[in-house]
């Protein structure tokens, strides 16, 4: 697999209609990769593919719901049949639910688990199997450790940061982090790299579609505005996260915290779990 630049590489990016997904698709295209931009919003995927096509060789849009097992089976088969086995897969699609655990209903859990966890499972399992089959056919030689391909799973600093306000989100992202670590160990012998990327606060637009439970719409909108204001002040665009994703593929990194708070929380989770548990008790601004 070409790594730096990605000339000749085929990259699949889910959740590519905006945020980290679009920024990553464009960053890979700019470095020579052919991009398949997948998103549940077909129009957004088309826009990303059009942009990527101006930067790299070619780009194709695909509408798919990553939580739908049958749809993902078809997607993986279409990619292989219409193109070939991908060299890079970025499982980025994600949603957020905010609010107390006891106010989070079964339907909420099914929805967030479907996208944030099952979406990563489907993408990793289906494309990982394709990469493994191809890798076994490659001759053994001292190539880069991710010669057989690379899977990037977008987790979050929430993966190691418990929070009373984000129990569902934190749970799914912690699962993505552990899944990535397990899969990395399993596929290392086949020269397939696996990376979990754990961004902190960044302006991705995910808040626009966040579901708030346990509060009325007025309070939810106030909280959304407060967090959005904080994100704007943070000034950490998705393009910076995309740069870290590219670097992670090139260097075959295992876990990549992104942003100052991402690194800080990762360090605290290792050095002082008790401090993290105390921080988890702090309510969000404007929420009692």
Is residue 92 included in any domain, yes or no? yes
Is residue 285 included in any domain, yes or no? no
Give per-residue pLDDT as tens, 198-237. 998 887 766 667 888 987 778 767 776 766 666 666 678 9
Q: What average pLDDT does range 139-143 have in this prediction?
A: 62
Give per-residue pLDDT as tens, 44-57. 999 999 999 999 99
Distances (CA, A) of 199 to 10, 228, 263: 24, 16, 9
Q: How far is residue 29's CA from residue 203's CA, in Å, rounded to a whole number?
A: 21
pLDDT in the model for residue 232: 65
Is residue 71 included in any domain, yes or no? yes
Distances (CA, A) of 162 to 38, 62, 92, 204, 261: 30, 34, 21, 21, 14
Give the residue carrying structure tokens 């876990």: 255
Q: How far is residue 116's CA from residue 258's CA, in Å, rounded to a whole number?
A: 19
Instruction: Quote the number of domains for the chain.
Output: 1
Is residue 68 included in any domain, yes or no? yes
pTM of the model: 0.91
Is residue 104 included in any domain, yes or no? yes
Is residue 286 included in any domain, yes or no? no
pLDDT in the model for residue 140: 66
Is residue 284 included in any domain, yes or no? no
Assign residue 179 the CATH number of its domain: 3.40.50.720
Catalytic residue among 62, 160, 169, 236: 169
pLDDT in the model for residue 283: 79
Distances (CA, A) of 73 to 113, 125, 238: 18, 10, 29
Mean pLDDT of the chain: 91
Q: How far is residue 200's CA from residue 231's CA, in Å, rounded to a whole number?
A: 10
Query: Which residue segment(s) compose the domain that 239 sits in?
Result: 10-279
What single-letter DSSP state applies at residue 157? G
Task: Extract the tokens encoding 7.
Answer: 């000339």
**Annotation marks residue 169 as catalytic:** yes
Give per-residue pLDDT as tens, 251-266. 999 999 999 999 999 9
Q: Which of 198, 193, 229, 242 is nearest to 29 (CA)?
A: 242
DSSP codes of every residue in 88-151: EEEE-----EES-GGG--HHHHHHHIIIIIIHHHHHHHHHHHHHHHHHHHSPP-S--TTTTEEE
């Amino acid at each position: 697999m070409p790594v730096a630049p990605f000339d000749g590489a085929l990259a699949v990016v889910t959740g590519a209609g905006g945020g980290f997904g679009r920024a990553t698709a464009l960053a890979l295209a700019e470095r020579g990769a052919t991009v398949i931009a997948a998103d549940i919003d077909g129009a957004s995927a088309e826009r990303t593919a059009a942009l990527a096509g101006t930067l790299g060789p070619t780009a194709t849009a695909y509408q798919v719901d990553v939580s739908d097992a049958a749809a993902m089976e078809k997607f993986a088969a279409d990619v292989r049949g219409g193109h070939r086995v991908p060299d890079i897969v970025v499982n980025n699609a994600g949603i957020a639910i905010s609010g107390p655990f006891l106010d989070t209903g079964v339907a909420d859990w099914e929805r967030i688990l479907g996208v944030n966890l099952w979406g990563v499972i489907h993408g990793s399992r289906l494309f990982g199997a394709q990469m493994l089959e191809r890798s076994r056919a490659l001759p053994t030689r001292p190539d880069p450790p991710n010669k057989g391909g690379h899977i990037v799973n977008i987790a979050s600093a929430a993966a190691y940061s418990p929070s009373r306000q984000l129990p569902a989100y934190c749970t799914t992202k912690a699962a993505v982090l552990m899944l990535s670590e397990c899969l990395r160990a399993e596929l290392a012998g086949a020269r397939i790299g696996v990376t979990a990327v754990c961004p902190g606060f960044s302006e991705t637009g995910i808040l626009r579609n966040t579901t708030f439970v346990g509060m009325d719409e007025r309070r939810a909108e106030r909280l959304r505005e407060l967090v959005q204001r904080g994100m704007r002040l943070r000034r950490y665009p998705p393009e910076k996260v995309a740069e870290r994703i590219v670097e992670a593929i090139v260097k075959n990194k295992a876990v990549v915290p992104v942003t100052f708070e991402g690194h800080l929380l990762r360090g605290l989770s290792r050095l002082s779990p008790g401090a993290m548990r105390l921080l988890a008790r702090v309510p969000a601004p404007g929420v009692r």
